[in-house]
Amino acid sequence: MMVPLLSIASLLIFLCLFSLAPVHEALRQGDQLRSLIKWQSLSKKTFFAGPEFAGNGLPAKIFIGRHEGKMEADRIEKLPGQPVGVDFDQYSGYVTVDPKAGRELFYYFVESAHDRDKKPLILWLNGGPGCSSLGFGAMEELGPFRVGSDGKTLFINYYSWNKVANVLFLESPAGVGFSYSNKSSDYDENGDRRTADDSYIFLINWLERFPHYKNVELFIAGESYAGHYVPQLAYTIMQNNKISNRTNIKLRGIAVGNPYVYEDIGDKAEIDFLWGHSMISDETYTKILTNCNFSNPNQSTECTDAIDSASSETGDIDDYNIYAPICPTDFQLNLDTTMDGLGGDFDPCTDNYVSSYLNNPAVQKALHAKAGKWSGCRYCSRFFMKNYTVQKLNPVRMAKPVARGDVDSVVPITNTKNFIKMLKLPILKPWRAWYLNKEVGGYVVQYEGLTFVTVRGAGHEVPSYQPKRALEMISSFLLGKLPPSLEAK
Over residues 74-88, the pLDDT tens digits come to 999 999 999 999 999
The whole-number average pLDDT for the span 166-192 is 92
Q: For 331-345, what is the mean pLDDT?
A: 43
What are the C-alpha distances in Å from 362 to residues 88, 149, 366? 21, 18, 6
Q: Which amino acid is at 338?
A: T
Q: How far is CA 236 from CA 60, 199, 249, 279, 387, in A?
A: 12, 9, 11, 42, 13
Nearest residue to 194 via CA among 175, 178, 208, 213: 175
Helix (H) or strand (E) holding 450: strand 450-455
For 48-77, what is the mean pLDDT?
76
- For the cut 90, the answer to whether the pLDDT of residue 361 exceeds it is yes
Active site residue 31: no
pLDDT at residue 367 tops 60: yes
Distance (Å, rounded) from C-alpha 364 to C-alpha 325?
30
Does the pLDDT of residue 118 top 80, yes or no? yes
Q: Is residue 24's pLDDT more than 70? A: no
State the average pLDDT over residues 232-252. 91
Active site residue 319: no
Kindly indicate the confidence band of residue 270, based on its pLDDT and cuts at 50, 70 and 90.
Answer: confident
| Residue 254 banded pLDDT, cuts 50, 70, 90 | confident
| % of the chain exceeding 70 in pLDDT | 78
- For 227, the 3-state DSSP assignment is helix
- What is the biggest distance separating any 2 CA atoms in the chain, rounded to whole angstroms? 67
Other CB atoms within 10 A of residue 230 CB: 31
Angle 159-161-162 from CA coordinates, rounded to 5°: 110
Distance of CA 37 to the CA centre of its chain: 16
What is the structure's pLDDT at 30?
56
Q: Of 54-58, 96-100, 436-440, which gets the smallest average pLDDT?
A: 54-58
Average pLDDT on 250-267 reads: 74
User: What DSSP line would sit under 85-126, residue for residue?
Assistant: T--S-EEEEEEEEETTTTEEEEEEEE--SS-GGGS-EEEEE-
3-state secondary structure of 368: coil
3-state secondary structure of 452: strand
Judged by DSSP in three states, 404 sits in: strand
List Cβ neighbours of 216 (8 Å cut-off, separation of 6 or more): 117, 119, 120, 121, 166, 250
Torsion from C-alpha of 266, 267, 268, 271, nearest 10 degrees: 120
Let me know: does 220 contact 170? Beta carbons within 8 Å: no
pLDDT at 224: 87
Predicted confidence at residue 401, as pLDDT, reads 61
102-106, 310-314, 414-418, 422-426 — which is least confidently predicted? 414-418
Among this protein's residues, is 295 annotated catalytic? no
DSSP assignment string, 281-322: -HHHHHHHHHH--TT-SS--HHHHHHHHHHHHHH-S--TTST
- Pairing state between β 450-455 and 103-110: unpaired
Residue 332: pLDDT band by 50, 70, 90 thresholds?
very low
Helix, strand, coil percent values for the chain (each to nearest 5): 35, 20, 50
**Per-residue confidence (pLDDT) for residue 449, from 0 to 100:** 76
Considering only CA atoms, give the Rg of the chain.
Answer: 21
The structural domains of the chain, with segments of one domain joined by +, span: 24-264+379-478
Write the single-letter amino acid at 331. F
Instruction: Kindly indicate whether the domain formed by 24-264+379-478 is annotated with CATH number 3.40.50.880.
Output: no
d(CA 229, CA 254): 11
Mean pLDDT of the chain: 82
End-to-end CA distance of the chain: 21
**How far is it, in rounded angstroms, from Cα 406 to Cα 460?**
8
- What is d(CA 237, CA 226) in angstroms, rounded to the nearest whole number? 16
**Model confidence at 444: pLDDT above 90:** yes
User: What residues contact 286, with CB distance under 8 A and at least 6 apart?
Assistant: none
Among 26-30, 347-351, 381-385, 411-415, top mean pLDDT goes to 347-351
Task: Give the residue with greater pLDDT, 78 vs 261.
Answer: 78
pLDDT of the residue at 145: 98
- pLDDT for residue 174 is more than 80: yes
Model confidence at 136, in pLDDT bands (50, 70, 90)?
Answer: very high
> For residues 49 and 190, which has the higher predicted lDDT (pLDDT)?
190
Query: Exactly one of 24, 67, 228, 460 is catalytic; which is it?
Result: 460
Tell me the percentage of the chain whose pLDDT exceeds 90: 56
Burial class of residue 316 in the structure, from the number of CB atoms within 10 Å of its CB (0-12 exposed, 13-18 middle, 19+ buried): exposed
Is residue 98 packed enough to be buried (19+ CB in 10 Å), middle (13-18) or exposed (0-12)?
A: buried
Q: What is the model's pLDDT at position 33? A: 58
Q: Specify the pLDDT at position 459.
A: 87
For 163, the 3-state DSSP assignment is: helix
3-class SS at 390?
A: helix
- Give the whole-angstrom CA distance, residue 306 versus residue 287: 6
Residue 151 backbone zone (phi > 0: left; psi -120 to 50: alpha; other: beta): left
Average pLDDT, integer, range 2-27 = 31
Contact (Cβ atoms closer than 8 angstroms) between residue 138 and residue 130: no
State the catalytic residue, choosing from 224, 375, 381, 409: 224
Q: Which of 133, 228, 408, 409 is catalytic?
A: 408
pLDDT tens string 284-327:
999 999 999 887 778 899 999 999 999 999 999 888 888 989 89
